[in-house]
Amino acid sequence: MEFAVSTKNTEFTTEVAILGAGPVGLTLANYLSKQGVQVTVIEQLDQLIDYPRAIGIDDEALRTIQSLGLVEQVLPHTTPNHAMRFLTPKSHCFADIQPLTREFGFSRRNAFIQPQVDNVLLQGLKQYPQTQVLFSRQLTEFSQDAQSVTLKMQNKQGQNEVVKAQYLIACDGGNSVVRRTLNIGFDGKTAPNQWIVIDIENDPLATPHIYLCCDPVRPYVSAALPHGIRRFEFMVMPGETQEELSKPENINKLLAKVLPNTQNIEVIRQRVYTHNARIADEFRVDRILLAGDAAHIMPVWQGQGYNSGMRDAFNLGWKMALVVKGKAGPELLDSYQIERKDHAKAMIDLSVMAGHVLAPPKKWQGFVRDGIAYALNYIKPIKQYLLEMRFKPMPQYHDGVLIQNKLKNSPVGKMFIQPKIELVSGEQVLLDEIIGNDFAILAWGVDPQWGLSETSLQQWKKLGVKFIQVLPAVQLQNEKRKQYDGVICVGDIGTDIRTWFGRTNDSMVILRPDRFVAALAIPQSVDQISQALFSKLHSKA
């Protein structure tokens, strides 16, 4: 099956245009298409990018891909539980980060090869006949008015084409022409050093995980990837150029630093790149929104550039679908920047800090780092903090589409857990599999509809909601168990969900389609809280 590309007309009409067929654009296209939105993806290149890019995908990103129905195709291209080890120049490990938790249903840190996963996302769009993917299109001009966005472009044959859309999502990278044309500030810093990436077939080391060697002469990274591929990254020294470094003899000199010999090495590709840490002043200008690298770029050291973009897609996708489908007002889209910008900035700061650990700006800082890190690695609470990656700032939204409460360390604004649950049939599945891409109201032990007025009940149904009653799994087969119309009953296999509720004073949780906690309630307060949430959603009754 080929993607539909019109040869008769030079004008395309669509609901959402997405500029850029990178992971963020393709994820948004899949999500919106799955929700019945008409999407047109516009890409300047002739095909997907195949040069070295991201190598780390986290549990949140996999949960996003799960929402697209594509995670089973992606997992075979990953290596779960990918540890990160910081080494001294003498290869002593002074920080060993092995995230082993699975609170969101997947391994917290995974190695992957981005072009393979991007291709899964591209192929996933073939199931949606209303979706177009237009490669080899050069954007020449765009404009917007109160009703639509108009994009003018040229195809490979030099013919002029026009796309008219209700909204444009610009996923066109760190050098975004849309962001620059709109004169949106992109403040931050560019690192003084470049790095060269070298990918090798038939991994000559075959040691697992990722190693970051803090060599004061030339820091480097050595990463095991799926399918027997090894990635090396070396800092480029002043005066070195991509043209010179890419010569086989110079590639071999670099590799000789980390390999016993360089005979018969199968180099797949190499590329020099610069680390930037920048964030856009605005993520939305009327009917145009920025996502992924167009909105924020960060150094690679925590693997969060790719994953932050995927968070953008999950956050924006469900909101855009509601607006386009007329279930919510366009004001809902303002919450995208409110919720995402602060966390993107936090991830930039973490990535910059990790880069300074690998390559300190001053030599003496490296000696201080090694001494402190060596000592801290033997203090159990701090070692556990590193092992579980608790230093990684998890998204928590304090404003936006949520109803905060006064609970200390409130789970409102955080992503809800995804344990395996048991169905009445006896089948065990991950929680999201029964929620789909809908809102959900989960209630511990009772009917989640009981406290809702008829008005609220109908409004929830219009928005799309799954009512879920959670019981201890052993109670599912009780023949006297009361059953409620329109309610899915699931069993808590262990104590994950019960323990989660045990940290609150409430027995009900309202989940957004991106799995973030929108509000907590009890049966007697859920109606009032629902009405307050409808106001935040700008939902149309």
HEC profile for 175-216? CCHHHHHCCCCEEEEEEEEEEEEEEEECCCCCCCCEEEECCC
Which residues, in sequence order, are CB contacts of 202 under 8 Å at separation 6+?
228, 266
Q: Which percentage of the chain shows pLDDT scores above 90? A: 67
Binding annotation for FAD: 15-44, 283-293
Return the structure tokens found at 349.
């700061």
Q: What does the DSSP assignment read for 315-370? A: HHHHHHHHHHTTSB-GGGGHHHHHHHHHHHHHHHHHHHHHHHHHS-SSHHHHHHHH
Number of H helices, E strands in the chain: 15, 26
Does 381 have pLDDT greater than 70? no
Which residues, in sequence order, are CB contacts of 458 under 8 Å at separation 6+?
none
* Predicted model pTM: 0.91
φ, ψ (nearest 5 deg) of residue 312: -55, -45
Does 385 have pLDDT greater than 90? no
Does 387 have pLDDT greater than 60? no
Q: Which of 185-189, 298-302, 375-379 tops mean pLDDT?
A: 185-189
Does 404 have pLDDT greater than 60? yes
What is the average pLDDT score of the chain? 88
Does 305 have pLDDT greater than 90? no
Q: Indicate the domain borders of the chain.
A: 11-67+114-187+277-336, 420-537
Return the structure tokens found at 519.
């509000």
More confident: 334 or 6:
334
Q: What is the mean pLDDT of residues 356-375?
A: 51
Determine the pLDDT at residue 475.
94
Cβ atoms of 100 and 63 within 8 Å: the answer is no
Q: What is the mean pLDDT of residues 13-18?
A: 98
Binding annotation: 15-44, 283-293
* CATH number, domain 11-67+114-187+277-336, options 3.40.50.720, 3.30.2130.10, 3.50.50.60, 1.10.10.10: 3.50.50.60
- Statement: 420-537 belongs to CATH 3.40.30.10: yes
Q: What is the pLDDT of residues 485-507, one digit of tens each?
A: 999 999 999 899 999 999 999 99
Which residues, in sequence order, are CB contacts of 172 under 8 Å at separation 6+?
19, 20, 44, 139, 178, 294
Q: What is the pLDDT of residues 76-133, one digit of tens each?
A: 999 999 888 878 777 777 777 777 778 999 999 899 999 999 999 999 999 999 999 9
Q: What is the largest CA-CA distance in the chain?
A: 78
Nearest CA to 441 among 316, 503, 533? Answer: 533
Q: How many CB atoms lie within 10 A of CB 51?
A: 13
Q: How far apart are CA 41 and CA 125, in angstroms?
A: 10
Task: List Cα–Cα distances, 231 to 152, 221, 255, in angstroms.
Answer: 39, 8, 11
More confident: 277 or 399:
399
| Pairing relationship of beta strands 11-19 and 160-170 according to DSSP bridges | parallel
Q: How far apart are CA 40 and CA 287, in angstroms?
A: 15
Q: Which percentage of the chain shows pLDDT scores above 70? A: 88
Kindly tell me the sign of the dihedral angle through the C-alpha atoms of 349, 350, 355, 357. Answer: positive
Which residues, in sequence order, are CB contacts of 225 under 8 Å at separation 6+?
55, 79, 111, 112, 113, 199, 203, 231
Kindly tell me the sign of the dihedral angle through the C-alpha atoms of 515, 516, 518, 522. Answer: positive
Which of 14-18, 205-209, 306-310, 367-371 is predicted with the least confidence, judged by mean pLDDT?
Answer: 367-371
Cβ atoms of 79 and 41 within 8 Å: the answer is no
Nearest CA to 520 among 532, 507, 538, 533? Answer: 507
Q: How far apart are CA 188 and CA 176, in angstroms?
A: 15
The model's confidence at residue 279, banded by pLDDT at 50, 70 and 90, is very high
Q: What is the mean pLDDT of residues 240-269?
A: 90
Q: How many CB atoms lie within 10 A of CB 175?
A: 11
φ, ψ (nearest 5 deg) of residue 83: -75, 155
What is the DSSP-derived secondary structure letter of residue 539? B
Q: What is the pLDDT of residues 63-78, one digit of tens each?
A: 999 999 999 999 999 9
Determine the pLDDT at residue 242.
83
Helices 304-324 and 334-358 pack at an angle, to 10 degrees, of 180
Q: How far apart are CA 144 and CA 167, in angstroms?
A: 9
Q: What is the pLDDT of residues 138-197, one digit of tens each?
A: 999 999 999 999 999 999 999 999 999 999 999 999 999 999 999 999 998 876 678 899
Q: What is the pLDDT of residues 462-485, one digit of tens each?
A: 999 999 999 999 999 998 889 999
Which residues, in sequence order, are CB contacts of 342 under 8 Å at separation 6+?
none
